[in-house]
Structure 1
Amino acid sequence: MQKKWLYRLIMSYIPIFFAVVFCLMLLFFMTMSDLVRKQSVQASGVFASQVMQIVDSTLKNIDTAASKSLLLNEKIAGYFNSSGPQATYAYYEVTEVLLDFMTQVGLVDSIYLYRESDGKVLMQHFSSELAEFGDRAFIAEAMKTPGSLMWSDIRQFALFDTPDTSKRVVSLVKKVPYYSGEQGLIVVNIRTDSLHALIREMSLDGVSSLCMTDGRGSSFEGSDRTCPSGSGEQGNVMELQSDYSSWHLRIGMKQAGLFTYVSAFSYVWFALGFVAIAGGMLAMTYISHRHYRPLEQVLRRIHAFADKRSSLARREAAEDEFAFIDKSLESLIEHTNNYDKLQAEGKLYRRVQLFNELMDGSRAWSMEQLKRELRQVGLNGDFDGLAVGLVEIDYYAPFAEQYSPSDQSLFKFTLRSAVQEIAEAENEQLWTEWVAPNRLGLIYRLEGTGKERQQLLKLKQLAERARVWVGQYLKFTVTIGMSEPVKRGEELPAAFHQAAAAVERKISFGPNQVYVYEAHWAQTASNRGHDVLLQEMRETAQLYRLGNPDWELLLEQTCRTMAAGLYTREDLTGLIRIFKSEINREMQELPQESLGQWQASGWSRLSGMPEEFEWIGDARELLHPLLQDAQQQLQSLRMNRQQYMLASEVRNYIAGHYADQELSLSHLSEAFDMNTKTLSRIFKEEIGEKFVDYLARVRIEKAKQLLEETNEPVQSIAEKIGYLYPMSFIRVFKKLVGMTPGDYRKEMEHRK
């Protein structure tokens, strides 16, 4: 229905409204402009002083901390008092002091100590001679400068003479001893980027601009940047100088020229404003009378009908003209709505029932039958192909707990409407129904033949737009799975299963994505490599029990193997449960004290961890820090045990001599000057595994690596890992891996 009268009414009033409002705004802005300009100048000065105080306070805090933590530190003093080669531990203690200082003072980029006696330069992470140090020119200049030094100007700092590694810093220089500097220097470097970031955080975007320079005028923002001076397009500039660092801070008011320009207007605008208001009132009165005439004609026609019905006549006598029109149409609208409602309810029920029949395959539909049935439920039956999609709400359990049923219904209605509207905007026929509390089913009715690839690409783009829209405007995310296009109604159940399989891919690659079904998934799903995955779990558990840091890498590999296996959410739950059991079973081999620590801090948390996850990344993010924390506690307990230190040395010795065919307990007892039985008992208690079993496992792991990476014969590999007889090697390999070396090499080549 065209609303010509409404648009004419609106377009009549809007120009008058805007003209009057513009005049009032201009008057108000003109009155306030001068006051705002003065207050802005005053506020900018106060703000600049506060920024300069904060910068000075930050520099003073670093200066004070350097004096207390470095200049007065006994270990630092010991470093400067000594000269010549020193023990590594002595340097380690000094670097620990430097690292602690950097941790306490967040802005510090680097620290180095220069010892004048022997030209030694020591940083927090390496040492160097003065002749090879990239900052030797600055050191020479600082040593020549008499008296105490404070903060330098902006300079280039590099560890070596290569210019591409230099960075812009300011440096705090402390002489040792104070004032004279006979023993050397303490230099604390702060990157100019850090100070610029501190100033940028305090700047008021859109109101003022801040720029800090050193005593030579170099900007902290960058070597190619200059700070404004005087007055210009950016506004008036105020400059402050720090009494502490002698640095300069310039602050400029943005858009300051606008206030001066507006203030130049004449006060004649006041009179024009009042004239505009009065003229607007007169114009709106005249236009209102003109636009009321069509309404009078409608009322006359209704009056003629009202005279025939006494009820309408009584209403008209007690109400205004608009209420009279509303009451007159109410009866007709009510009857029409009741009829349409009954028709719509029947179609909606039949539509949902038909959707479910198509998805579950309870009834076979030919394409002609399907088109005819769709027309009966009010849908367009002109199409040539079909495609199925599934929209799944991510993390549905927290979603259901967080929102009430009414809020959930509102979110689901919004989601369904958005998906429908995005498809309709691209002229795609889409039918949507909820098939589960967290899943919205989609059936696209496609037009044209021989364009399946282009159609699928377009549907994926529509799904991606819907996914982005949901993440942007709703308080949850969705994962969308798409099937391949089909040409027959009987293929819809299979297409539905394809869409469901595509949605399940978020177990591997994460939620909030769009996945399109690929035919090779069926072959991959039938060969998931359970044996390899279980072997990786067992090896991860063994490395974890032994305290070998490689367990973290193997855990990551295990998670990647799970992601590559097309597992369902139920499969993932079972695999996580198996992995937890493997970890706990291996930890039972620990000494009693370590086992008690594991059961109290590790297993109690691991067993209480949720077993159902949205995707493998959630499981890894929970599992890894939990195991890492428990490992650190066990490691602390182990480091306090002398036996564990001995067992660790034996383990390291095995790692370096596993290829020795003479390696045995007797060999180790001679190497560590211990009784054979005592050494065997300590190794079993601390490592949780007999010596012969541990040695065999180390050799077999190396053999697996050689079988995968080289083409050497089995006999040669057996000799390289310490086996004199190939048959012994093959027997042990099959016992630990479950297959012969030759079969293992074939399996790895097939997998590649």
Structure 2
Amino acid sequence: MFFLPKYLLRLLCFTMILGALPVIVIGSVSYSIASRDIEQKVRESNLQILHQTQMRVEQVLRSLQLSSIQYVNSPLVLQAMKKPLDSSEFQEIRDLTSGFNNLQSVTNIDQAYLVNLDEDWVVSMRSFGKLDDFSIRDRIGSYLKYTNSLFWVTQNVSSSKESIPVSAGVGEAAQETVPTLISSDNVVSMVFKIPMIPTNVKPKGFLVIDIADTELSTFLSRNPNSGDMYVLDREQKYFLNDTEQDGKYDTLNQEIHEKVQTTGQSEGFFSAEVEGSQVAVSYRQSPLNGWLYVSVVSLSQITAQSQKIALVTGVATLVMLCLTGLVAIYGSRKMYSPISRLLQFTKGLDSPLAPSGRRQDEFIYIEERLSTLFSSEKTMREQMKGQHVHLQEFFMTKLLTGKISEEDFRYQGQLYDFPTSWSRLGVLTLQIDTLEGTRYEEQDRDLLLFALNNMVGELLPSDIRFAPVMIDDAQVTVLASMLDDEVQLKEWMHSQAELIRERVVTYLNLPVSIGISRSYSAIGDSPRAYQESREALQGRVSLGSRIILHYEDIQPRGQTEAALYTQLRMIEDQLASALKQGDEEKTDAYFKRYLGLLSDKKLHFSEYPVIMVQLLSRVYQLVQEQGGNVAEVLGEKASMARLLKLSTLDEMTNWFRKCLFQPVIRFWREQEESQYLNIARRMIRLIEERYDRELSLEACAEELNFHPVYLSRVFKKEAGVNFTEYLAEYRMEKAKTWLQTTNLKISEIAEKLNYTNPTAFIRTFRKITGTTPGKYREQQR
């Protein structure tokens, strides 16, 4: 007998339910919404049909009413109502009858009567006579009860077939002009009191227009979707119905009347039961005569379309269920495949557990098998405890370097016994200032950092700090405090840093500095705070070593003045000349002057690397000008990367002297002593050194112990121009520099360049640059 695996069966059932439930719910909701929409549309359609039917009927009635009013108010009728008439006044009777014929142009009427109660005569469409000669005499009494001058009366028996009275004087001639009347059992009467004044006083007469029910029934809708349609009069009796109802809707009509009386609304819709069948009823009340237009539709007729939708929805749902089942089977097997492979793997493991004969859940089986591979909970905790400190440090390193989110830190931080509540945080970064002059060597730096990290962990309680860590060449600690006041918080963090520094000096006799970040509250801001603490440490360049620096106390001073760079450049030129000459004393003097200028200007620490890199580049240039290779002459210790790692001004000073100046002086001395020294370069060096004095080719020949013609030929070949042109161009380059960076007068610059006549200087400057010194200064500024 085939059995599905227990978990696979659960997975299959779950996916079937998960897939089938939305399909069934969506199908049911769709059918419900569609059915409701169809019923709403049918209801609105029926009300619209009722409204159109009402408009058609009332349009005819209003037209007939207006025509009748004109007829009643015509001079002919007004004069006739004031006097008696007899059959001898044939022409006047004929004229009155002709007015009835005009009403036929509006709609086919069954009969019309002009009744004069005071003079006791009646003119109809086909006869004339006394009131007692006409069947309308039975209705006149009921008409006297109405107070309105115009009213409608239904449920009247037709009198169109009544015989012409003997007293009538209309005769055969009149009969020929009258159209054939409609034969109907019931009529609707439109009654006008004459005169048309609403009062309880007995009127002089009436104008009665009878319209056959069958005539008005033609205006009712014959749409099969609108069901049975009929009209109720003011007494809630139906008429104008196209089928015989036989009291079928009497109870329904009474309910309609109660709803109209209760709600006061002129239209409505509701469901009811008629003879055991559910029907939808729509009704509208006419403001013209108070009639109610009613439509009764069977609900089965309305829901016929819904049943089609239900069929389509059911088929679609069934198809979707089949597809869901196939997908569920396929998906369940796919999701079960890793469990199946894991189950097969665990079956191959050695286990002291005896196999159970019952059908076991796969996960329970796997759990029992894997439990044999792990040690007890106590052993596992002991193993993890040994790695706890390393995990803390690893986790803090990821936090400070921005490799873990704040949310992950809060989740995992509780596992490492970190502080869980604080008001403000701050980062302390400790660095060793220098190892020179101490009992330690450079190779001891990492070991010293490790010792400093352990010392911080022992000095600071665990409730005010996170795990101390080492990052690159620094020791970093995140402090947590409940203080809110910034001043108090700053003092507290400074006191903690001071405590650490004092203990380091006491126990290790090591110069260290500590940078402190701004305070913050969100643990996710720790990477930014760490960078701030490192930036604070850069202040050692200008402030010295063995200090504690706060980030907010190290603010940029602004842009360095252009004059400072000009002065530094001049000292650089002098220092370069001293290096070329191999004069260590001058080199050291110029370098002290260089550093003194930097110290006097009190530059921001961020500006020192830029200036020092500039000086380094100038030294590199000296080596390259002499044809040497920087890496070979200076070695790895004189690299720019090494310069950028120096943190204090003392370290930079010693580095320049030992790693740069001394090797460069040795290199230049060796080059000077070499028999292959380039004569052109020596001449250029003379120009660079004596451009401000009287200098000629002959003077160079005397200095270098060569013949002037020989020197001229060598210089022309190496430099590409003759000696005089090169000297003039070099002097003009110096003039350009002074014009850009100083306020020296043109005459002063000419004198500094050994021009006794400023005019000669200007002429030479224009020849070489194409413009005068004054214009050049204006262009550059």
Q: TM-score, normalised on structure 2?
A: 0.36
Which of 1 and 2 has higher RCO (CA within 8 Å, sep 6+)? 2
**Rg bigger for which structure?**
2
Q: When the two structures are superposed, what TM-score results if normalisation uses the length of structure 1?
A: 0.38
